[in-house]
Amino acid sequence: MSNKFISHEKLRDWLEDLSARFEVWAPVNTGQDAKGVVVYRPFVRDGALEFARKPVESAKHTVFPRSETLVNFKTGAKDGKPALELHVPEDPPARAVFGLPSCDARGFQIFDPVYNGSGTQGLARDNYYLRRRNATVLIVKACSKVLNTCFCNWVGGGPACTEGADVLATELPDGFILAQVTARGEAALGSALLAPASDSQEKQARKLHEEAGAALCAPPDLSASVSALRGKFDDSAFWEAEASKCLSCGACTYLCPTCYCFNITDEARGVLGARIRSWDACMLPLFTMEASGHNPRTGKIQRLRNRIGHKFSYYPSLHNGRIACCGCGRCIKSCPSSVDIRRIVTDAIGITGTAGLKEQKNG
Ligand code: SF4
Ligand code: SF4
């Protein structure tokens, strides 16, 4: 399929058209002015869409909700014996997420082998994740500006990377050029409102991609991260120094597009109840609390070591070298103590004077 174009004036018409077939989500400014927080919300025609600033949160919750009911239950008795009625929620509607950055789409690729049963850990298929994942079209918006916290190119991505995207949208001065990437993306582009993209628009898009890519600093070689972090495991002086500023607030884990841990709780009132899955965060002290009362990670040093080790050493060891971080930089940007994951990894490897930690052109 040739590339399509939608003008800024017609964008809301197209998203409304899309809403007939999908539950559409898009970045929205939730504040009263240009400083408001940008987050993903279900599309409404008169909503405050915003594409100029990167959303504070990742798009993870559009596929993996912060909290979801796995099963509703009712307890009772039948023929004098205890009885349990179970009701599994209906399949979620098909979704289209418009305007997420490329790093957020790549984040789902780190989820996939963990939840689709293809990983090397012998994990079961998670049908709750998979039914949403398979019903979601990801319309990535290429980044035209990079932040000084962005480092997607350190981990194999880039501002216009199509890995994980179903459609790549590039914003031009007068609208968006839309390039189909996967077969799933075709369903989102079947609209009479879309015009064929011109050669000149294609050229402008390629130029923007090149400029954004060039604004990122050259990436360091992280190929030694797996062995370097294993080698640092018992180096408590190293972890004490790296974790000294951490407040154990958990913001880094909650905002991360690649953190996939969850907790399950049963909540009941009378005879009715629900089994609920909610995000959990390994940076929080109770994450590893065991039923016996023993907690193997009571200190923030152990928790930070686990978080960094998981992303840059243990996960790649199990998944063909793939690093479990997409370089979105949210954990750096939103950390109240300025803990910088790039610095920890490069310190562990022994890379000094890292080019990637310098100010980036558009930072
Ligand atoms: S956001 Fe910063 S302070 Fe909070 S847990 Fe993460 S590293 Fe620690
Ligand atoms: S670890 Fe930080 S930079 Fe990497 S994906 Fe998570 S939030 Fe983004």
Which residue would you say has higher pLDDT here, 309 or 353?
Answer: 309
The C-alpha angle 32, 37, 42, rounded to 5 degrees, equals 90
- What is the reported pLDDT for 2? 86
Report the separation in Å between the CA atom of 255 and the middle of ligand 2, taken as the mean of its atom positions: 8
Look at residue 86 and tell me whether its pLDDT is greater than 60.
yes
Look at residue 363 and tell me whether its pLDDT is greater than 50.
no
> % helix / strand / coil in the chain, to the nearest 5?
35, 20, 45
When pLDDT is averaged across residues 34-49 and rounded to a whole number, the result is 95
Q: Is the CB of 18 under 6 A from ligand 2?
A: no
Pocket of ligand 1, candidates 57, 149, 242, 248: which has the most ligand atoms within 8 Å of its Cβ, to mutate? 248
d(CA 249, CA 265): 22
Sorting pLDDT into bands at 50, 70 and 90, what band is 264? very high
The reported pTM is 0.94
The percent of residues above 70 in pLDDT, for the chain, comes to 96
- What is the reported pLDDT for 172? 98
Confirm if 226 and 348 have CB atoms less than 8 A apart. no
Pocket of ligand 1, candidates 56, 239, 249: which has the most ligand atoms within 8 Å of its Cβ, to mutate? 249
d(CA 303, CA 248): 9
Protein residue whose Cα sits closest to atom 2 of ligand 2: 331
Sequence-distant (≥ 6) Cβ neighbours of residue 152 within 8 angstroms: 102, 103, 106, 158, 159, 161, 216, 326, 327, 328
Please identify which residue in the block is written with the tokens 């629900």.
274
When pLDDT is averaged across residues 127-143 and rounded to a whole number, the result is 97
Sorting pLDDT into bands at 50, 70 and 90, what band is 362? very low
- What is the reported pLDDT for 359? 54
- What is the reported pLDDT for 354? 59
Q: How far apart are the first and last CA of the chain?
A: 35
- What is the reported pLDDT for 280? 97
Identify the weakest region by mean pLDDT among 103-112, 121-130, 234-243: 121-130
Sequence-distant (≥ 6) Cβ neighbours of residue 208 within 8 angstroms: 142, 144, 160, 170, 171, 172
pLDDT in tens, 144-166: 999 999 999 999 999 999 999 99
Look at residue 110 and tell me whether its pLDDT is greater than 80.
yes
Sequence-distant (≥ 6) Cβ neighbours of residue 293 within 8 angstroms: none
Report the separation in Å between the CA atom of 2 and the middle of ligand 1, taken as the mean of its atom positions: 45
Confirm if 328 and 58 have CB atoms less than 8 A apart. yes
